[in-house]
Amino acid sequence: EVKDAKAFILGGKHRQIDPGNMLVITRPKETSIDELEGAWVEMHKRKMQDQERVVERESLNGEIIVLFLRSTGTFVFLYNGNNKLTFEGRPLTRNKFYIFKQGGIIRGNEIAPIYYSEVSSRFFQKPGGIKIVLSAVNIEYRYPLSQNGIRPFSFSEESGQLIGIMGVSGSGKSTLLNVLNGKLKPRKGKILINSNDIHRDAAKIEGQIGFVPQDDLLIEELSVYQNLYYNAKLCFGNLNEERISEIVEKVLRDLGLDEIRDLKVGNPLNKFISGGQRKRLNIGLELMREPSILFIDEPTSGLSSLDSDMVMALLKEQAVKGKLVIANIHQPSSDNFKLLDKLWVIDKGGYPIYTGNPLEAVVYFKTLSGQVNPGQTECLCCGNIAPEHILKIIEAKEVNPSGYHTQKRKVRPEEWYQHYKEKIAPGRSEKPARNVLPPNMFSIPGIEKQFWIFSVRNFLSKISNRQYLFISLVEAPVLAFILGYFTKYLHEGEYLFAENVNLPSFLFMAVVVSLFLGLTVSAEEIIKDRKILERESFLNLSWFSYLNSKLGWVFLLSAIQMISFVIVGNLILEIRGMTLTYWLVLFSAACFANMLGLAISSAFNSVVTIYILVPFVLVPQLLLGGVVVKFDDLHDSVTDKVYVPLVGDLMASRWAFEALAVQQFAGNRFQKHFFDHEQLNSDASFKASFLIPRLMSKVELAERNIRIGAGTVETERDLVILRNEIDYLQRSSGLMPFEYIDNINPEEFHGLVAEETAGYLIYMRLHYSQIAREAAAERDMVYLHLEEEMGSHALHNLRQGHHNKALADLLLNRYEVNFIYRSDTRLVQKKDPVYLIPESNIGRAHFYAPVKKFNYVYVDTLWFNISALWLMSLILYLAILLNIPGRVVAFFESFSFLTEK
Ligand code: ADP
Ligand code: MG
């Protein structure tokens, strides 16, 4: 290299340079040889030509000689001719050497620009790469219920080119890219990559197409390196860690992002890296997979001219390296326009109106529109082209008689399209293609591995956001403190758990907190990743793995939030022995809310929508949770006053609150010794003291009315109730069945039947009184036993520390005056709901039931309710997995779209 460098610098000794490290840019004509150095040049040139180390430029005077220093990967060049050339905006001095930097361009008025990529590719390009031909055969696309789309369009383009698409905004450029990259399926026609249909042979062309949408695909909280790294992990399931980091390093170097590798990406408002760097990083995510065809939507929009130049140089480099690069370019600068190998112009309505050489496009449109100097494409003095002229000509408006421009276009898109079909389309030729595709490293990992990659990526991005993390972790215990502090009711200056009248409110608020936190933790999760998700579905990455990784995170966060909430809250209110129970219930409720949040997040397309929706989701949970308004007091259309109404059963708050309240009442360390006896006592004494006396008075009344012939509808209803209740009593008591039960009807209910009925009821009452007495005695026994065992003081303390009176009042319905509600067919017990065992066999029950019966099995309310919460979560999970919320929203959107039309 030292020898080469010497020979290069000490002018005139270029023949001593190793031809493998040298490249000559020269005029194609043989005459230029004179200016080189005789026979040596001939030989050298031939040698270099063999290695494709000669680049030709029309009308270049003299040569540009490029030396490649392999060890550092540096290119150095000098120019020995008389043309006025510039490099990086400054004129080149003859025979002075310059370092040819990445993205550099040597320009001159007379010559086509010489790009870094063109030079470097001669040294790096692997000869004999597989050529790629992308063809479209009469593709046509139309958005549903719209005139917009792509009109019939055919083309055939081979790799190694940079194709630019121009057109006014809204003409269909992005649509065309999405049709070509396979996201939108054309209505007619087909798209082929080396004769493989991109839709029919989707598996075969996997990994060949790369697509960089206009929006960012970056994960804001991660660094530049991490963004590339996790992308690589997801794209190369079969490479080891070492290879992956090699690939990432290479992308960092190639894209000039090495210096900012550890910077957080941030978002365009909260900037850490520049717009051009963001764009290059976005492109890098796709380039890393080495797709053979790269589609890029508006790579330069919104970038400074310097950034645009860098991005365009990068794209050109990819083209030179043998890829087919197709990009939407809005208002390219003259220099960038000159980089294009081909230009496509699309007009409003999706009409293709030009395909071909970019410079000739100017001539074409000038000629068709009858402008002066149609043959002149560039400025005579500076050599600049004004690509915006093309759009101006296409969009030119008619002038009205008073000399003002009208809104009407001189040439409508259809007419331009007609010209295109007549003048350009027929000249198109089909490029031959072999039915082989270049090998591709792209291989997505299995769903389990994806799950881990997603999880780690998500975790890292979460913990890098300190503010979010801090608030998430501190919020729950602070809320618990606030709730606990304000609901700490002091009884005569002293706090006693038993006397705290606010316990039910605290429990309900705890449920509300769990739902709120659960919802807010997850509501933004999916929506934030919307663009990234779109890309990941483009890459066929697993939605299942992604969703589970999100769930893993929000569940973990909810678990931590809820345990910290319960610990602080229970400590303040001196709730004993319930930590795990409360946590389990509140965690389950929070997980349900997590699911709900994810479902909303997956369905809607803006964060604002979500926050507007949160009240819609939470208000019913508050209202229909059974606490704020009692279920029996709801509107008549929803409640039958027997069981919790169905709308209530749909509320997570109902299940969670009931589980907490019942378990706190029935499962605490004091009550659990007595619960069974008290339940027996409650049941029997209700029947003996309330139900049966009420039935007996009905017997008397009905018998008299029927006897005197004054039987009414009311009497008939009483008889139905009587019959049902006696049936219920005989079943639940297990005693001798009542033999006249079928005779309890208006025709036969007199004399013997009525007498027998009254007798049977007396018999039943005796039976239940007996049971009630025994149960009470047994409970007293247990009490005495305990007293003996632990002392009466300790027993008293146990009671004061565990049995809350306010909660007992609520669960025993002590403030209710009517212990019986008469429905059309039954007498419904309203006393002691927490002791009443429900009859429904599908799990329906009144509020505060101690157990639920499902399929002839009794399940404790705690476990039944937790299962109900998880069942609801599971249903939501499946819905999200199948994207049902999204589809429902899309359905309604299409509906409103329809009415707008
Ligand atoms: P651009 O050339 O600016 O990239 P697009 O390809 O995004 O334009 O859009 C082309 C036309 O199609 C526009 O007029 C746009 O309003 C319309 N369009 C885009 N998406 C849809 C859609 N989903 N349904 C109906 N019309 C659409
Ligand atoms: Mg667009």
Per-residue pLDDT tens digits for 103-162:
577 888 778 778 776 787 777 655 556 788 999 999 999 998 888 899 999 999 988 889
For ligand 2, a single-atom ion, the residues with CB < 5 A are: 174
Ligand 1 atom 18: residue of nearest CA: 148
Q: What is the DSSP string of 654-718?
A: HHHHHHHHHHHHHSSTTGGGTHHHHHHHHHHHHIIIIIHHHHHHHHHHHHHHHHTT---HHHHHH
For the stretch 145-150, contacts whose Cβ atoms lie closer than 8 Å and that sit 24 or more positions apart, written own/partner, are: 145/897, 145/898, 145/901, 147/349, 148/172, 148/175, 148/349, 148/350, 149/175, 149/187, 149/350, 150/175, 150/176, 150/179, 150/186, 150/350, 150/352
Assess whether the C-beta atom of 170 lies below 6 angstroms from ligand 1. Answer: yes
* Residue 680 structure tokens: 């027996």
How many CA atoms lie within 13 Å of 224's alpha carbon, on the beta-carbon side? 25
- Of 175, 180, 900, 901, the residue with max ligand 1 atoms within 8 A of its CB, to mutate for a pocket test, comes to 175
Type and span of the H or E element at 395: helix 388-395
Per-residue pLDDT tens digits for 200-256:
988 888 889 999 998 888 998 999 999 999 999 999 999 999 999 999 999 999 888
Per-residue pLDDT tens digits for 832-845:
999 999 999 999 99
Per-residue pLDDT tens digits for 354-399:
998 887 888 888 888 887 777 666 665 566 778 888 888 898 888 8
Assess whether the C-beta atom of 178 lies below 6 angstroms from ligand 1. Answer: no
What phi and psi values does residue 626 have, to the nearest 5 degrees? 90, 0
Q: Write down the mean pLDDT value for the chain.
A: 88
Report whether 847 contacts 833 (CB < 8 A): yes
For ligand 2, the distance from its centroid to the CA atom of residue 389, given in whole angstroms, is 20
Assess whether the C-beta atom of 435 lies below 6 angstroms from ligand 1. Answer: no
Share of the chain above pLDDT 90, in %: 54
pLDDT of residue 31: 45
- CA distances to 429, 513, 544 from 536, rounded to whole Å, are 35, 34, 12
Assess whether the C-beta atom of 894 lies below 6 angstroms from ligand 1. Answer: no
Ligand 1 atom 4: residue of nearest CA: 174
Report whether 455 contacts 556 (CB < 8 A): no
pLDDT of residue 379: 62
Per-residue pLDDT tens digits for 594-635:
999 999 999 887 888 888 888 999 999 999 999 999 998 888
In which residue are the tokens 């007396």 written? 762
pLDDT of residue 42: 61
Distance of CA 416 to the CA centre of its chain: 42
Q: Cite the beta strand spans of 145-233 per DSSP E.
A: 149-158, 162-166, 188-193, 196-197, 209-212
- Of 146, 165, 300, the residue with max ligand 1 atoms within 8 A of its CB, to mutate for a pocket test, comes to 146
SS3 819: coil
Lowest-confidence segment of 77-81, 129-133, 344-348, 735-739 by average pLDDT: 129-133
Ligand 1 atom with least separation from CA of 148 = 12
Distance of CA 64 to the CA centre of its chain: 53
pLDDT of residue 50: 56
Q: Is the pLDDT of residue 36 over 70?
A: no
pLDDT of residue 901: 39
Assess whether the C-beta atom of 169 lies below 6 angstroms from ligand 1. Answer: yes
Find which of 91-95, 391-395, 467-471, 876-880 is predicted with most confidence, using mean pLDDT.
876-880
* Closest C-alpha to 607, from 681, 486, 526: 526
Ligand 1 atom with least separation from CA of 175 = 6
Per-residue pLDDT tens digits for 180-196:
999 899 999 999 999 89
Q: How far apart are the first and last CA of the chain?
A: 71
For ligand 2, the distance from its centroid to the CA atom of residue 170, given in whole angstroms, is 7
* Closest C-alpha to 509, from 533, 542, 476, 537: 476
Per-residue pLDDT tens digits for 785-806:
999 999 999 999 999 999 999 9
Ligand 1 atom with least separation from CA of 350 = 10
Mean pLDDT within 816-823: 91
User: Which ligand is closest in space to the CA of residue 170?
Assistant: 1
Residues in the chain: 901
Assess whether the C-beta atom of 40 lies below 6 angstroms from ligand 1. Answer: no
Q: Which residues pair with 342 in a beta bridge?
A: 163
Per-residue pLDDT tens digits for 684-693:
999 999 999 9
* Closest C-alpha to 741, from 717, 763, 762, 760: 760
Rounded to a whole number, what is the largest CA-CA distance in the chain?
141
pTM: 0.82
Q: Is the pLDDT of residue 671 over 90?
A: yes
For ligand 2, the distance from its centroid to the CA atom of residue 330, given in whole angstroms, is 9
For ligand 1, the distance from its centroid to the CA atom of residue 150, given in whole angstroms, is 10
- Of 145, 148, 326, the residue with max ligand 1 atoms within 8 A of its CB, to mutate for a pocket test, comes to 148
SS3 827: strand
pLDDT of residue 128: 57
CA-CA distance, 328 to 163, in Å (whole number)?
9
Q: Is the pLDDT of residue 296 over 80?
A: yes
